[in-house]
Amino acid sequence: MADPKNDVFLRALRRQPTVRTPVWIMRQAGRYLPEYREVRAEAGDFMSLCRNARLACEVTLQPLRRFKLDAAILFSDILTVPDALGLGLYFETGEGPRFRRPVRSAAAIRRLSVPDVHSELGYVFEAVSTIRKALDGRVPLIGFAGSPWTVATYMVEGRSSRDFAIIKGLAKEDPQALLSLLDVVTETTVQYLNAQIDAGAQAIMVFDTWGSALEPDDYRRFSLANMQTIVDNLVRDKGAEPIPVILFTKGAGALLADMADTGCDALGVDWTTDLQTARRYVEDKVALQGNLNPATLRESPEVIRQGVADTLASYGHGPGHVFNLGHGITPDIDPEHLGVLVDAVHELSPPYHE
């Protein structure tokens, strides 16, 4: 398939020169858009939306019609993987994701096995190829998965958690059981992401939303090690240049230095670390993606523009910056405010590339 007509995002991930800073937004397809809420209502529920390639494609494209974004991201979820492992994912209205059969004991972990991703997750690969065709090279398409640790928190807790008491208990009492759970998720994720690449994904992002709940040594053992295995086993040689990989541990802070040594191309940075500081941690080994506080989008257009200006200045001159929020856009945001952000990146970033 042809290279994208707008490759500023892929070039920035590879730290090649660009004329401006590319921009996309985590959760750019989602509930803050009225047209998304309409399509989700048509689908019935969130998983039916993910399983319908035509509708998943439609909601992927919606934010691109409104805003001058430089990448599309597959519309799906990180919890499709444990669903394929047989845990029974469902969404309680207004309450977030739940699993019918959480995995809490060594015996339950032993019963898990790597599924055939093509039969269990074929709907995702069909969405990828449908979106890729519909994009027609306008911007590159990002495929993604959760980090094995972050996915395992949902598998063990059975739902969203903020203290991770059950999985941390397992890490203390039976670390080998937790490691074998992580092995199954990691192997499944490698096959899942390679199949997304085969279907047409042009960059890969691994979301480790809950890695920073671990202390640093446990982070390296239970989270970073599995992301390393993923980076090592992705088949990235598809075109003239390898498919770039972005790792994002929310709240990584100084651990960004360890992450930069995995061989990934870029790191997502949340708003609790200045890009200037992050750039020092990673010693220009990788590109950086981020990191405006999503709460800034609740402010006035003037404050949003200033936030963009400050973020660009914090990264400073030179290639290797992809503009994004430090975490996903929230459902309460006025879409016009996101337009102000995207326009400001287009307008204010060129001087940093002269």
Binding string, 148-177, against ligand 1CP, x = CB under 6 A? Answer: ------------x-----------------
Q: Residues 77, 83, 208, 270: which is the catalytic one? A: 77
The residue from 99, 149, 207, 219 that contacts ligand 1CP (CB under 6 A) is: 207
Helix (H, G, I), strand (E, B) or coil at 206: strand
Contact segment (CB under 6 A) with ligand 1CP among 72-80, 123-131, 216-224, 308-316 equals: 72-80
Closer to ligand 1CP by CB, 211 or 307: give it.
211
For 89, left (φ over 0), alpha (ψ -120 to 50), or beta? beta
With residue 99 as reference, give the H or E element that holds it.
Answer: strand 96-99
Helix (H, G, I), strand (E, B) or coil at 285: coil
Residues 275-334 that bind ligand 1CP (CB under 6 A): 328
Closer to ligand 1CP by CB, 53 or 348: give it.
53
What is 126-138 written as a DSSP string?
A: HHHHHHHHHHTTS
Q: Residues 27, 66, 101, 220: which is the catalytic one? A: 27
97 binds ligand 1CP (CB under 6 A): yes
**75 Cβ contact partners less than 8 Å away, ≥ 6 residues apart:** 29, 49, 50, 56, 57, 59, 60, 127, 131
For 298, left (φ over 0), alpha (ψ -120 to 50), or beta? alpha
Helix (H, G, I), strand (E, B) or coil at 151: helix
Q: Is 281 labeled as catalytic in the residue annotation?
A: no
145 binds ligand 1CP (CB under 6 A): no
Q: What is the C-alpha to C-alpha distance for residues 109 and 181, in angstroms, rounded to an integer? A: 6
Q: What is the C-alpha to C-alpha distance for residues 161 and 154, in angstroms, rounded to an integer? A: 8
Contact segment (CB under 6 A) with ligand 1CP among 5-13, 76-84, 239-247, 314-322 equals: 76-84
Name the closest residue to ligand 1CP (Cβ): 160
190 binds ligand 1CP (CB under 6 A): no
Q: Is 36 labeled as catalytic in the residue annotation?
A: no
29 binds ligand 1CP (CB under 6 A): yes
Paired residues of 72 in beta bridges: 141
The residue from 31, 104, 238, 346 that contacts ligand 1CP (CB under 6 A) is: 31
Are residues 230 and 222 in contact, defined by beta-carbon separation less than 8 angstroms? no
246 binds ligand 1CP (CB under 6 A): no
Q: Which residues bind ligand 1CP (CB under 6 A)?
A: 26-31, 40, 46, 73, 75, 77-79, 96-97, 144, 146, 160, 207, 209, 328
Annotated catalytic residues are 27, 31, 40, 77, 154
